[in-house]
């Protein structure tokens, strides 16, 4: 059984012409872990993300989310704007496992998304309900934690509404057994 690697991911949000939009990135189809899937910017927590010996994994996850958003989408976000909404762990039977903190944050709408063409091969700003429709139509591949996060965001029409709804809530810790199910 592989040990779960601590990780962080962040769903940048913006107010679009038809309501709340979220940034999704398409992973290179040749990547071993969820190649070709549409995901939020994210990745493993690096040792440098623990800035003091007293840093917890969640402390480091905030720093990792900021760093990964910059590395994968060239977006500058602030750790102080991140709202932690959930934590998912890949099932024990999986060959590669992650224990991932999920955040939402307002995006700086003045910045342009820039992808590297290596790890990330595409991006879209999309309404959460539209991304779910794209998945069910077979147009995009998404994994269960992304799907569930998109579902959570469908009820909001503005970034401020989504942030306010989760700002004072504890993150939902999703049991490993639930993490094993495929996206609906």
Q: What are 80's two structure tokens?
A: 């102080």
Q: Is residue 99 part of a domain?
A: yes
Dist. CA 171–CA 86, nearest whole Å = 4
pLDDT at 139: 97
Dist. CA 181–CA 173, nearest whole Å = 15
17: left (phi over 0), alpha (psi -120 to 50) or beta: alpha
Q: Is residue 24 part of a domain?
A: yes
Dist. CA 156–CA 21, nearest whole Å = 10
Q: Is residue 182 part of a domain?
A: no
pLDDT at 177: 60
pLDDT at 54: 86
CATH code: domain of residue 150: 3.90.79.10
Residue 119 structural domain: 5-176
Three-state SS for 97-133 is CEEEEEEEEECCCCCCCCCCCCCEEEEEEECHHHHHH
- How many structural domains is the chain composed of? 1
pLDDT at 53: 86
pLDDT at 176: 65
Residue-level pLDDT, tens digit, the chain, 184 residues: 678 999 999 999 999 999 999 999 999 989 887 889 999 999 999 999 998 888 899 999 999 999 999 999 999 999 999 999 999 998 888 778 899 999 999 998 889 999 988 889 999 999 999 999 999 999 999 999 999 999 999 999 999 999 999 999 999 998 766 555 556 7
| Closest-CA residue to 68 (of 44, 91, 87, 51) | 44
Q: Is residue 184 part of a domain?
A: no
Q: Is residue 183 part of a domain?
A: no
The alpha carbon of residue 183 and the mean position of all alpha carbons in its chain are separated, in whole angstroms, by 15
H-helix segments, the chain: 57-73, 128-136, 144-153, 159-167, 176-179
Q: In the chain, how long is the greatest CA-to-CA distance?
A: 47
Q: Is residue 116 part of a domain?
A: yes
Q: Is residue 181 part of a domain?
A: no
Dist. CA 148–CA 150, nearest whole Å = 5
Contacts of 148 (CB under 8 A, 6+ apart): 86, 174
């Amino acid at each position: 059984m592989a040990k779960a690697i601590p990780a962080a991911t962040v769903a940048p949000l913006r107010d679009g012409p038809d309501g709340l939009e979220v940034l999704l990135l398409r992973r290179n189809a040749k990547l071993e872990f969820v190649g070709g899937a549409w995901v939020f910017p994210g990745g493993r927590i690096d040792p440098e993300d623990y800035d003091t010996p007293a840093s917890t994994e969640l402390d480091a996850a905030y720093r990792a989310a900021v760093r990964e958003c910059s590395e994968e989408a060239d977006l500058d976000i602030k750790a102080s704007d991140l709202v932690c909404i959930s934590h998912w762990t890949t099932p024990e039977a999986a060959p590669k496992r992650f224990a991932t903190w999920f955040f939402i944050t307002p995006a700086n709408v003045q910045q342009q998304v820039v992808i590297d063409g290596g790890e990330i091969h595409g991006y879209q700003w999309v309404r959460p309900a539209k991304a779910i429709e794209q998945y069910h139509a077979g147009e995009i591949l998404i994994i269960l934690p992304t799907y569930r996060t998109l579902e959570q965001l469908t009820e909001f029409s503005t970034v401020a509404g989504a942030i306010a709804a989760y700002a004072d809530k504890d993150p939902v810790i999703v049991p490993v057994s639930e993490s094993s199910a495929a996206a609906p």
